[in-house]
Amino acid sequence: MTGSGSMQCLGFLLLAAVLLQTVAVAVTFIYFNNVLATMKETFSRSSISCLMHSNLRNVKGSDPSAEANGDPCWTVTKQLHFLIEKTMSNRYKKEISSAVKDEVSRVLPSLVIEEQEFPTRPEIAAHVTGTSMTGTPGVRQGLFPRKVPGEKIWSWEMEKGLAFLRNVEMSAGELVVPRAGLYYIYSQTYFRLSGVLEDGGDEGGVAEGVARGKQVLQYVYKKVGSYPVPILLMKNARTTCWAPGAEYGLYSIYQAGVFRLTAGDHIFVAVSDLTALSMDEKSSFFGTFLVT
């Protein structure tokens, strides 16, 4: 009986301990829950009070010490100010864009392109201009196949002035195509040829001298990894002639076209006489951009 009674007492003690622990946890939970609710209510009331007694126009000019001291009114007002500013800015941007688009569509309807018709693509374009560094004859002979007509232009300006590269790389005077597609390729070269053609001293001699004028040519090539020799894309030529007694002649050649290129293709320009080339940025240039 004594052993059985002691076991019952021990059981009651364990049960009482569990009940007391449960009650303590419940009371603690209720207490902290009430404290959190009180803090939320206090913060809410203080925030509303801050907004009712604050001037949003003076937020940026407020005393810096308020931020350092953690002033709740200053923090709430600043956050609300930034939210209003961001919302208004996004709204005005949309309205301004819409107004500009409407004006453009009214003046030039053909320039308005709907977004759903042409999905946005990454900008791929390049425009390189003339530079005085055109390479040395030895380098050209070592890298450019002799059986390919023309002398390659090895050096272009890529950054200064009007030149730029956007998602296009340049290597040894060649533009490297980053992705497959249809590309618009254009090139202009400007020649300054000096010297006076010999004439016979009469009208017949002058005509003969003019007839013996020099030809200048421009070539646009592409290089692909599967073919060892550059492939000619475009070719243009001009026959020069001088007036009697002229010391030099100026000539320019421009050509452009749309071609399908693959990722990794190289495109470059060559001319018939590299020494006669005038490499001014507004006279000699070369570029491409992705059409589709």
Binding-site residues for Zn(2+), please? 241
Packing angle of the helix pair 72-107, 2-52 (nearest 10 deg)? 60
What lies within 8 Å, CB to CB, of 199 at 6+ separation is 205, 206, 208, 209, 244
Question: How far is residue 22's CA from residue 121's CA, in Å, rounded to a whole number?
Answer: 64
CA dist list (Å): 211 to 44, 55, 108, 238 = 95, 86, 48, 13
The answer to whether 256 and 186 have CB atoms below 8 angstroms apart is yes
Question: How far is residue 185's CA from residue 177's CA, in Å, rounded to a whole number?
Answer: 11
The answer to whether 44 and 69 have CB atoms below 8 angstroms apart is no
Alpha-carbon 23 to chain mean position:
66
For Cα atoms 278, 152, 269, give the angle at the middle one, nearest 5 degrees: 75
- As given in the structure block, the two tokens for residue 172 are 């040894």
Count Cβ atoms within 10 A of the Cβ of residue 279 and give its class: 0-12 exposed, 13-18 middle, 19 or more buried.
buried
Sign, CA dihedral 48-50-55-56, equals negative
Detail the residues annotated as belonging to a binding site. 241
- As given in the structure block, the two tokens for residue 163 are 């030149």
